[in-house]
Structure 1
Amino acid sequence: MNPEIVEQLKAYDGRPLRIMEVCGTHTHEIFRQGIRSLLPEKIRLISGPGCPVCVTPVGYIDQAVALARRGVVICTFGDLIRVPGSEASLADARKEGAVIKMVYSPLDALEFAKANPDQDVVFLSVGFETTTPASCMAVRNAKNEAVRNFSILTANKTMDQAYYALRDSADAFLYPGHVSAITGTAIYRQLCADGISGVITGFTGPEIITALTVITKKCAEGKPFFVNAYPRVVTDEGSRPGRKLIHEIMEPIDSEWRGLGVIPRSGLALRSEYADFDARKKYNLENISGHANPACRCGDVLKGDCTPFDCPLFDRVCTPEHPVGACMVSNEGACSAFYTYGKEAQE
């Protein structure tokens, strides 16, 4: 790290600042690099809802478990398997005999469906703008190739509306580089015009330190701001092919976020032309509200209302080996980061 920039940050003596990182990778890197120990008392870092598994509501897990128990092959990324639902996780369903297959992309799930035409296959499509294009590509390919035994259960979300929902929780945001590489910078310029400040940054310690220093200087000016501090990856236009694919296959909907409630037009669902590949319609799935363990404060952590240390279950009942909430399961979750790195920080 540049010692001069570190010293500038450590010397900050302006008004108290709340800076929210909304990317789990940022949270883990901040801990791993010991960045919190470099910050003056007036700067508070808040871990926000940047983990797609963490913000996926309990009811979605309940729907996936219901499908698995009906004999549908569930294909999913590994983190979702252990996320608790209202009564059971996918790992519990697998112990009961359900087929839960871990894949590395939705295209893997499509290939499995093509190789096993006698089995119904559902891919659990969870993620932000970064991973959504791959789900769209799988659905488009399935339609073009007439793969009738493949569908997806969507929980895809977009980040821009979440910043509006969280605008009172932070003075500025550390915007995620990988999401921004898809979206481009237009949404952040609009956020700035609406009074919301932030800096796009990469994932190394020096990049994060630089972004935090930029935030302190810009906040001192007293005006909303936006800075792209990750220009080698994030361009103004972002990924036009990725956004075009998403727009072709999916459309915005109101969506529930764990801890944040329903955020208007923050989710994505398959358009009517692709209804045959929508697992909810294909299997007539009912909406399930779901209920988390009432003692779990995962929702409050995602809003920045508390840290994992404030949860009565953290490191007592809830551990990575026996997670009670989604934030402890995912490698991008705040509770996972605080458990892995945060004990020393607390001490």
Structure 2
Amino acid sequence: MGGTKKRTALEIIRRYDGPPVRIMEVCGTHTHEIFRLGIRQILPPQVELISGPGCPVCVTPIEYIDEAVWLALEKKVTLCTFGDLLRVPGTEMSLAGARSLGADIEIVYSPIDAYTYAAAHPEKETVFLAVGFETTTPAACLAVKQARAAGLKNFSVLTANKTMPMAYASLKGSADVFLYPGHVEAVMGTEHCEALVAEGVSGVVAGFTAKELLTAFAVILAKYPLGKPFFVNCYPRVVTSEGSISGKELMASVMEPCDAEWRGLGVIPLSGLTLRPAYAAYDTRKKYAVPRLKGKVNPLCRCGEVLQGKCKPSQCGVFGKGCTPDHPVGACMVSQEGACSAYYQYGGMES
């Protein structure tokens, strides 16, 4: 029998002899898994991996931390937050620093946990720090809906929710190919990724197992040398074109788009989400008249450039020296999805 032998993903990657290609790992979990699985060691030298803004804690601006600290120390509210946010430096201090001064801060694992805490402690004014992308935003919306339905008066959310499509567009040209985050696209669907092809943006949606990541890289290296923009969903068992219709409807019913500040990227129009007027009673900024704060970034920190793919963590002067997971200077060293923490943990010292 004749025919051509079908090459495996690993063979396609190892035998790549095409032009240099810069691939942006938009998702911080991808960055960590690619390191952990040893995939960087098998990629050909023409392939350069750069980090992107796919870590919600990392892209949250320093002013947000300052707002949370102000609420905890000045208004004496109880803050409910994901653990990753606790040690992110603010202008004067982190939330951990505020807690050392007596702030009441509870670690939760979901927005519903924060709602449940508020319901169980009616004597405490409780604020949930709503940091996240499309993956966690539906749960935050559900918590707000439940609070309103229950008539809960001591619960509100400090929003820093962001959506990825506008960020993709703002990063157009910073990489040759985007490795899109599978969990975000599971909610949002792939229509916005497909639309970017007409603007010359190439990308693939990838899962998180070794097989799924190798398949995604093989697809990129097979298609990129052809010289035409492309999009491929390499995570079809989870991601569909339409995404989660119920999740998107829930978000749209509780929140509406707004301009948002991204660490390193500045203000991206309509890339954030804020509570709709019908839920204004649960908007922390309105409830407590939170003042507009101007955060001050540590000049030694290059997190903003890392999040744009302009430099690698190891090119930052304080990486691994003044900035370590035990003593982070920037958010990218704190979060479990941060590029700097991945480079530090897995020894990614290449420049």
TM range (shorter): over 0.9
How do residues 89-108 of structure 1 correspond to structure 2 at under 5 angstroms?
A: 89-108=94-113
Candidates 73, 79, 82, aligned match of 1:74: 79
Alpha carbons 2:12, 2:221 under 8 Å: kept: no
Give me the identity figure in percent. 61
Equivalent residue letter for 1:156: N
How do residues 58-137 of structure 1 correspond to structure 2 at under 5 angstroms?
A: 58-69=62-73, 70-137=75-142
CA–CA distance in structure 1, aligned partners of residues 9 and 117 of structure 2? 50
CA–CA distance in structure 1, aligned partners of residues 86 and 16 of structure 2? 43
1:156 aligns with 2:156: no
**Offset from partner CA, 1:212-238 (integer Å, 9 cap, x none):** 111122212211111011100111221
Candidates 33, 36, 40, aligned match of 1:36: 40
3-state SS of paired residue (2:208): coil
How do residues 13-32 of structure 1 correspond to structure 2 at under 5 angstroms?
A: 13-32=17-36
Candidates 8, 12, 24, aligned match of 1:4: 8
CA–CA distance in structure 2, aligned partners of residues 342 and 266 of structure 1? 33
CA–CA distance in structure 2, aligned partners of residues 113 and 5 of structure 1? 50
> How many residue pairs are counted as aligned between the two chains?
345
Offset, 1:258: 0.3
**Offset from partner CA, 1:8-51 (integer Å, 9 cap, x none):** 21221222111001111110111111111111121101111110
Candidates 263, 268, 286, aligned match of 1:281: 286
The CA RMSD over aligned residues, in Å, is 1.3
Equivalent residue letter for 2:86: I
1:144 aligns with 2:149: yes
CA–CA distance in structure 2, aligned partners of residues 49 and 315 of structure 1? 21
Name whichever of 112-121 and 332-341 sits farther off. 112-121
3-state SS of paired residue (1:339): helix
Offset, 1:193: 2.1
Offset, 1:65: 0.4
Other-structure match for 1:332: 337
Equivalent residue letter for 1:312: G
**Offset from partner CA, 1:147-206 (integer Å, 9 cap, x none):** 011000000000001111111110110111111110111111111122211000100122
CA–CA distance in structure 2, aligned partners of residues 229 and 329 of structure 1? 30
The normalised TM-score by structure 2 is: 0.96
1:249 aligns with 2:235: no
Offset, 1:342: 2.5
Alpha carbons 2:178, 2:203 under 8 Å: kept: yes
Equivalent residue letter for 1:43: V
1:233 aligns with 2:235: no
CA–CA distance in structure 2, aligned partners of residues 65 and 246 of structure 1? 27
Equivalent residue letter for 1:220: P
Offset, 1:93: 0.6
1:310 aligns with 2:315: yes
Other-structure match for 2:3: none
CA–CA distance in structure 1, aligned partners of residues 83 and 239 of structure 2? 28
Unmatched tracts of structure 2, length 5 or more:
1-5
Equivalent residue letter for 2:37: Q
Equivalent residue letter for 1:221: L
CA–CA distance in structure 1, aligned partners of residues 139 and 292 of structure 2? 25
3-state SS of paired residue (1:319): coil
**Offset from partner CA, 1:246-283 (integer Å, 9 cap, x none):** 00000001100000101111000000110000000101
Alpha carbons 2:12, 2:222 under 8 Å: kept: no
Offset, 1:3: 8.5
Equivalent residue letter for 1:60: Y
Other-structure match for 2:194: 189
Query: 4+ residue runs of structure 1 moved beyond 4 angstroms?
Result: none
Offset, 1:304: 0.5
Other-structure match for 1:49: 53
Alpha carbons 2:55, 2:337 under 8 Å: kept: yes
